[in-house]
Structure 1
Amino acid sequence: MSKIGLFVKEARKWLKFKEPVVFVVGNESCDLDSAVCAVGLAYFYMNTTKLPEHLLIDGNRRFLPMMNINRTNLPLKTEVTYFMQQHSIDIDDLVCCNEVSSELLNVSKFILVDHHIATGIVPAIDRVIKIFDHRPVDPKNAHILSDYATKIQEVGSCATLIADEIRNVEGSFAAQDDTINFLRGPIVLDTINFSVSADKARPLDIEINKEVEAKLGKNDNDRLKLFNDLVKARSDVSSLTALQLLSKDMKMLSSVDKSKIVAIPGFPILVEDYLQKENVLESLRQFGDERNCDILVLMGMKELTTGGIRRDIAIVTLRESELTKKVIEKLTIENREYLQLQDKHNDLLAVQLFEQQNVKASRKQISPIIQKALNGH
């Protein structure tokens, strides 16, 4: 078992005790970036000799990485389970949010990675002691963040920010081979292997990756193999039903008064291919009913053998046609030049499908547009 795998196994034992811990928790999609950042940062903080004192809890180091999904949904994260196994981490040792008692949550503190808003399992924002995120700050929540130690920077991967934290605390990547090799996976995947056409990588991603690969003795061919293996693992959804695939990588949005709810599932395949799966319409309705959604926004992506990507997007009306009109207006009219959406034919009346010509715009950029429609702006 690897050192990181042993740490994860030992850390899980803290669930049995009542002493508070510092949970390191990613976002609710639990994609590779979130999962690896949670484990990688907790592992680093447990082992560094230069840990800032304010991160101690009762004078002790107790950092526990937590997957921000239920245990039953973890197998849906095919790239996460694959990558953990590649690094000799037993999936059964990972802690999922439904396995933690409310008593432990209420006395513990939290470090947020790959998101910056305390939701779900985090009982209150005042329990958060540090934040790392690479998405734009929601303006209505900006004032909350001023009181917390934050590292929010728009880069391709949150793992880049964790690697930068390691470099800043330690002064270099010396003696950090296992941690930086672990973090390298989501950096390569989320930047689409530093594809120029995808335009996900930012200067800090490039800088960190260059330094990490020099330290590990990795080259372009090694990186390409890592990328292809991760894409294959993420795209292997052949065993998942249409309903399961909706939960694989999903984000929820709501209006300010919580009266309207939109789910945004992201697929490692094109939406047009997803819509060909068996029982797809029934699955869309069941998924929406279970989460009390008014509409669904499906986002698909396919990596091409040429190194580029394709994207498409669909709006699924469940019960709120007026909201559908507002969302489509925001996406196709107000952001016509930005997103460059083109109508695509499909046979489902409740679904409006579009090819997305601007492949640089991901869910991270499109979610704020949908949020404005939800809020009536």
Structure 2
Amino acid sequence: MEEFLSGCRRAVKVNADQAGPGFHVVLGNEACDVDSMVCALTYAYFLSKTAQGEMLALPLLNIRQSELLLRSDNVFLLRQVALSPDLLLFRDQLDLRALQRAGRLRLTLVDHNILPSSDSDLEGAVVEVIDHHLLEREPSSSCTVTVETVGSCATLVTERIIQKSPEILDQQVAQLLYAAVVLDCVNMAPSAGKVTPKDSQFAAALESRFPSLPPRGALFQTLHNAKFDISGQSQQTVFSIHCSKWKYWYLIKLLLNKYLQYLSSGLQYFQCFPLDGVIKINFCLNIKPQHNTSQQLCSCVHEHAMRLRTASNCSVFPV
């Protein structure tokens, strides 16, 4: 896959601003979790081996390059399969709108089935969807839709590859797909309520084809631990909120955007997930670390989040 990703970067550098063949971009969702990243990488690789025509298939991570460090489980997995993050392409490195205006863009959405409102103008470029979430997309003759409520979108990508072009699977591609399925399906444990028979079927298929894949339990635990490991992140810019109810997370995001304007900062990263019975919200502020920055931000967030404390029982602290 290294050769494929290197070729994608070269093509973007040389051809993105010129007339010529277009790009078939495989775009994950804005959370860019492990499942989304893996599906973008592996499905674009599949298209590069199987699709007809002159368009170059390439994976695009739907975050800025600077935000990857905050996806510590993504970084860990890339390191585990010996893929350098420098080979990846990010949303701030390719102008999708310019490509669309030039008629040089096709989009395949993986791990989401509808574009956010901020990208609604790109809708005309969407030609395919592969997703495992609730279908929100309106039917269209110009877009092929595969949506099935399995535990992991990587299960659906694995199914497509095994059915259409199993020869492109190697240890590296298989381990990416396997890791995403095991992590999303919570170590394939039925008690977690995520895994489906199809997830189990294609996880077993990968295990059968590649016996040297890491053991499920060990793989899940290392990825799970990596997800909450912030040792590589700036202690002055990363914060967490613990909130007892999902419905308050968006209010908190609006509050942060409003009351941190005086620092000339924006929310560079914002992610919600359940942890130990509460909702954990990690966010990173797009600022340059300065003396007392952490203390000032914590005081600011504390002061204004107190308005939500009674209703949502939230706590705010630097991590």
TM-based fold match above 0.5: yes
Contact 1:37 1:113 (8 Å CA) reproduced: yes
RMSD, aligned CA? 3.4
Q: Which residue of structure 2 lines up, in the alignment, with residue 27 of structure 1?
A: 29
State how far apart, in whole Å, the 1-side matches of 2:128 and 2:204 are: 27
The number of residue pairs the alignment matches comes to 268
Matched, 1:156 2:151: yes
Query: TM-score, normalising length from structure 2?
Result: 0.73
Amino acid at match of 1:88: A
Amino acid at match of 1:350: L
Amino acid at match of 1:39: L
Query: TM-score, normalising length from structure 1?
Result: 0.62
Matched, 1:5 2:2: yes
- Return 24-33 or 80-89, whichever deviates more: 80-89
Matched, 1:301 2:274: yes
Cα 1:114/1:233, change in 2 over 3 Å: same
Relative CO higher for 1 or 2, CA cutoff 8 Å, sep ≥ 6? 2
Shift in Å at residue 5 of structure 1? 2.1
Amino acid at match of 2:219: L
Contact 2:40 2:60 (8 Å CA) reproduced: yes
Matched, 1:213 2:179: no
Q: Note the 1:20-99 alignment, pairs <5 A.
A: 20-47=22-49, 51=50, 55-56=51-52, 59-99=53-93
Please list the CA deviations of residues 199-220 of structure 1 after superposition, one character each: whole Å capped at 9, or x if unmatched. Answer: 100111011111111111158x
Amino acid at match of 1:133: D
State how far apart, in whole Å, the 2-side matches of 1:25 and 1:129 are: 12
Aligned-pair identity in percent equals 25
Contact 1:8 1:94 (8 Å CA) reproduced: yes
Query: Which of these residues, 124, 127, 135, is aligned with residue 122 of structure 2?
Result: 124
Cα 1:184/1:291, change in 2 over 3 Å: same
Cα 1:147/1:208, change in 2 over 3 Å: same
Equivalent residue of 1:83, what SS?
Answer: helix
State how far apart, in whole Å, the 1-side matches of 2:108 and 2:74 are: 20
Shift in Å at residue 103 of structure 1? 2.3
Amino acid at match of 2:223: L
Amino acid at match of 1:233: A
Contact 2:29 2:36 (8 Å CA) reproduced: yes
Cα 1:9/1:144, change in 2 over 3 Å: same
State how far apart, in whole Å, the 2-side matches of 1:243 and 1:146 are: 46
Q: Which residue of structure 2 lines up, in the alignment, with residue 286 of structure 1?
A: 260
Contact 2:81 2:176 (8 Å CA) reproduced: yes
Matched, 1:104 2:99: yes
Equivalent residue of 1:85, what SS?
Answer: helix
State how far apart, in whole Å, the 2-side matches of 1:201 and 1:264 are: 31
Cα 1:188/1:13, change in 2 over 3 Å: same
State how far apart, in whole Å, the 1-side matches of 2:84 and 2:123 are: 31
Q: Which residue of structure 1 lines up, in the alignment, with residue 111 of structure 2?
A: 114
Matched, 1:182 2:182: no
What residue ranges of structure 2 are gaps of 5+ in the alignment?
242-246, 282-304, 315-319
Please list the CA deviations of residues 81-123 of structure 1 after superposition, one character each: whole Å capped at 9, or x if unmatched. Answer: 1211222222122111111134234421111100111344574
Cα 1:86/1:121, change in 2 over 3 Å: farther
Q: Note the 1:190-209 alignment, pairs <5 A.
A: 190-209=184-203
What residue ranges of structure 1 are gaps of 5+ in the alignment?
248-252, 254-260, 266-280, 303-309, 316-346, 356-377
Matched, 1:169 2:164: yes
Cα 1:5/1:354, change in 2 over 3 Å: farther
Contact 1:157 1:186 (8 Å CA) reproduced: yes
Shift in Å at residue 291 of structure 1? 7.2
Amino acid at match of 1:311: G
- Return 150-159 or 76-85, whichever deviates more: 76-85
State how far apart, in whole Å, the 1-side matches of 2:62 and 2:27 are: 6
Amino acid at match of 2:274: M
